[in-house]
A = this chain, B = another copy of it.
Amino acid sequence: MSNYTAPVRDMLFVMNELAGLDAVGTLPGYEEASADLAEAILEEAGRFAGEVIAPLNVIGDREGSRLIDGKVVPPTGFADAYRQFVDGGWGAVASEIDHGGQGLPQLLAKPVTEMWNSANLSFALCPMLTQGALEALEHHGSDELKAVYLSKLATGEWTGTMNLTEPQAGSDLAAVRTKAVPEGDHYRISGNKIFITWGEHDMTDNIVHLVLARLPDAPEGVKGISLFVVPKYLVNADGSLGLRNDVQCVSLEHKMGIHGSPTAVLAFGEKDGAIGYLVGEPNRGLEYMFTMMNHARLGVGLEGVAISERAYQQARDYARDRVQGKAIGQRAAGAIIKHPDVRRMLMLMKSQTEAMRALAYVTAAYMDQAARHPDPVQRAYYQARVDLLTPVVKGWSTETAQEVTSLGVQVHGGMGFIEETGAAQHMRDARIITIYEGTTGIQANDLLGRKTVREEGKTLQALIEEIRADVARVAELEGEAFRQIAAGLEEALRVLEATASHLIATAANDMPLAFSGAVPYLMQLGIVCGGWQMARAACIAKARLDAGDDVAFHQAKIVSAQFYATHVLPRAQAHAHAALHGGQATLALDESAF
């Protein structure tokens, strides 16, 4: 079994030095977001994550959520921990103040969210989905709906769900068949939804389902989908709970991981039709869902950071404790961390986790700037960055988490394969994150199509120029580490530009050919952006070191960046090669020849 200690020092370094917490603190409404407040919140959240939520992670895996007589029973301890979570105000961290939230900037909320995910991914999914439902209502709900639901969701007193997928539809929402028939001020909803995370449980009095469905006269395809609120219990005019709505959990999925989180099949309207309320205008449901999905995608990218951190901590602790054999170059038997290859694996885990965290937090700060910057030109600039980087943070971080959690098992040797050790759970849990909220392929299509080709690489080019300027600063520093970092990034940027130009040009003539390189392009961009953040960190660490500040911490930052530049960054070139030269072979084979 493993412990979790929130990496507060590392988080604060990224927030303060890389993501510009001070700049975020100058934005209207975020004036209180100081480094001191950040530290205080992170320390407190870290304690709660480590002491209350983390110990339930293994229990959740073993017991799973169970469906008993139509009711979902979460694993032992989850309901109590959730109550503490809400009572402690943790459900409200990022919610707007006027709905009872704390109104913190994303740059402060995201590190806290990372902690919940590290501590217990299954548990953390519940507030994550609640946040998604909250946002959809905040942005698109009527005042009446807001009055009934917002503050309950903002505090976490009620939880929320997102109901998109149907058995026949998968990622293709055009195929949604759930029906909504108008009846007075509400609608009667009927249909089946699958893969509904925390779709049913007894941890709160009510659950607020957000459901995609079709009105009787709706057009075919994605333009005929509307969004509805369907509460588990109807809410009376005085705010008290009324009748049980006609929505039932008919089964739970038996999954590879995140056993603690119930993944429900929900049946709406098996009796008279579930009562639902239209959110916003008819037939705009998909658009509304995407508002919230984009934010959720960044959240899932953060899950990649979080579970990588957890796997790293466990592998590191094991490698320090486990005495076995005489490592090459050592005179006596010692802990396996002395073996060069164990160090290599731990460095791969550590450096990539740091790179992912940095890019995720930097993107969170861009979100804050995009939302609150007084200058609309700046807001647009930052929004474009967020749009470009969201699929990268989601796709690259979740794919990288597959490697990191698998390395966590490998560091444990045979013990890693034994479930009691806990290393395997992180790998099993992580396996869903490249899939839900849009697979890596879907992220890559979004990145290449909407975020690159459509605007002919404009936002990307600006980003590349900014990275290039940062690399020039690194190149001025003395020492082998900085030489390797600068040289690696210069070459990687050159090839990234070439790849983007090639794919943009190809897309004009042959869309399938261009999009066969979408995932390699996404991975390339993610690796380069990660290297960029590592280079910035090394630069800052050098300045701190020169000032004699926290020597061990800042030296480690430089080593980590150097390792990333020599072990990880070269992979960007391999991805580029596939994107530049591999399309023909990808598409050449006749389907029958597979």
Contacts and interface: CB of A to CB of B under 8 A. Distances in A.
Given A410-B440, A414-B195, A594-B350, A588 B562 contact: yes
Nearest to A513: B340
B516 A344 contact: yes
Contacts of A414: 165, 170, 195, 432, 435-436
- With a 10 A CB-CB cut-off, give which of A326, A431, A592 has the most chain B CB atoms: A431
Contacts of A519: 341, 344
A171 B413 contact: yes
Interface in A331-372: 333, 337-347, 350
A171 B324 contact: yes
A174 B340 contact: no
A296 interface: no
A582 interface: yes
Contacts of A420: 254
A328 interface: yes
Contacts of A328: 445, 511-512, 515
Interface string A385-413: 00000000000000000100010011001
Given A414-B435, A589-B559, A518 B329 contact: no
A593 B556 contact: yes
Interface string A184-200: 00000000000100000
Copies in the complex: 2
A422 to B, nearest CB: 11
A552 interface: yes
A32 interface: no
Given A563-B585, A567-B585, A174 B325 contact: yes
A128 to B, nearest CB: 17
- With a 10 A CB-CB cut-off, give which of A172, A255, A327, A328 has the most chain B CB atoms: A328
A481 interface: yes
A526 to B, nearest CB: 15
A343 B590 CA distance: 10
A325 B256 contact: no
A337 B591 contact: yes
A343 B571 contact: no
A577 B566 CA distance: 6
Nearest to A510: B329
A146 interface: no
A432 B417 CA distance: 6
Interface in A565-590: 565-567, 570-571, 573-574, 577-578, 581-582, 584-590
- With a 10 A CB-CB cut-off, give which of A175, A324, A440, A445 has the most chain B CB atoms: A324
A584 B570 contact: no
A428 interface: yes
A552 B480 CA distance: 52
Contacts of A337: 591, 594
Contacts of A419: 254-256
Contact of A582 (B324, B417, B428, B567): B567
Contacts of A555: 593
Contacts of A512: 327-329, 340
CB-CB nearest 3 A-B residue pairs: A172-B325, A566-B582, A341-B441
